[in-house]
Amino acid sequence: MRRTAALERSEADRFRHAAAATDDLPFLWQWQPRPTAPPPPPAPVAPDWASLRASLEALLRAWCDQLEAQLGQDDAGFDIVVSADRRPRRLVVLVSPADSVTVLVDDRDGPHGDDHRAEMTGRGWHDFIPLHRWWGSYFERTSAGAAAAAHLIVTEARARGAQSPHDLRLADVGAGEGEGLLTLPGLGIPSSPAHPH
C-alpha cells in the first residue's frame, strides 16, 4: 500500500524525467470530476512529427477504450492552435462515446473554389460545412480510426505552417458539461496552465 502523497511524487518524477511524450508515463490523460490534486507536470514537448503523431494516436486510442468508463456518455476534446498560421485557426479534436473520433478545422478565411477543395480532401478532410466554413473528418473509435485522425492532425498542422510540434499550442481542453479538470500530460503539445472547466 502506498500513500497518496508518495504516489503523486513518484508519478510527478516520472513525468519530469520522461524522454518523450509517451515514454514510460504513468498515464496519458487524467480526469478529476472534482479537482482536488494538482495536475501532473506535462511530459516533454514531442521532439518531432513522428513522436507527436505517436502521442496523438496513443491518447486517441486510450480515449476510444477508456472514455466511457471515466465519463459515461460525455465527450472529451481539445483544440490545437498553430502559432505559425498567419490566421490562427483551430483544429478541434473530439471523442464521443456515442459517436466517433471527430476532427474539425476552421477554414473561414480559406480560398473558395475547386482547387482548395481538392487540396483539403487530398489532406484527408471528408466534409465541408458551408454554414460555418469548417472542414470535418470522422473516424471510428478503433485503433485504425485513432491512427487516421492522428495522421490528419499532423498533416494539417504542417500544411498551416508549423515547422515542429513547438509551433503548436493546446487550448480548450475539456470534457462533458460539468465541472471538472481534464489534463493531457502525455500529448506532447505545449499548453497554457490548466484550469477547471
Query: Which of 148-152, 161-165, 179-183 is predicted with the least confidence, judged by mean pLDDT?
Result: 179-183
Reported as a single tens digit per residue, the pLDDT across 60-73 is: 999 998 888 888 78
Whether 29 is covered by a domain: the verdict is no
Whether 104 is covered by a domain: the verdict is yes
Q: Is the dihedral of CA 11, 15, 19, 25 positive or negative?
A: positive
Whether the Cβ atoms of residue 128 and residue 117 lie closer than 8 Å to each other: yes
Distances in Å between the Cα of 115 and the Cα atoms of 119, 143, 172 are 6, 32, 32
Whether 16 is covered by a domain: the verdict is no
Residue count (the chain): 197
Cα angle, residue 44 at apex, residues 136 and 49 outer, rounded to 5°: 45
pTM higher than the cut 0.85? no
Whether 118 is covered by a domain: the verdict is yes
pLDDT of 194 > 50? The answer is no
Whether the Cβ atoms of residue 26 and residue 14 lie closer than 8 Å to each other: yes
Whether the Cβ atoms of residue 56 and residue 153 lie closer than 8 Å to each other: yes
Whether 38 is covered by a domain: the verdict is no
Reported as a single tens digit per residue, the pLDDT across 83-138 is: 876 666 789 999 998 778 999 998 887 778 889 889 999 999 999 988 888 999 99
Reported as a single tens digit per residue, the pLDDT across 151-164 is: 999 999 999 889 99
Residue 24: predicted pLDDT: 64
Please tell me what DSSP assigns to residue 191.
Answer: B
Whether 93 is covered by a domain: the verdict is yes
Give me the chain's average pLDDT, please. Answer: 82
Whether 159 is covered by a domain: the verdict is yes
Cα separation, 159 vs 193, in Å, equals 27
Residue 9: predicted pLDDT: 59
Distances in Å between the Cα of 135 and the Cα atoms of 64, 90, 99, 144 are 22, 11, 18, 21
Whether 121 is covered by a domain: the verdict is yes
Cα separation, 143 vs 36, in Å, equals 32
Where in the sequence is the domain holding 163, given as residue range(s)? 44-183
Q: Which of 41, 38, 39 is nearest to 16 (CA)?
A: 41
Residue 18: predicted pLDDT: 57
Residue 138: predicted pLDDT: 95
* Domains: count for the chain: 1
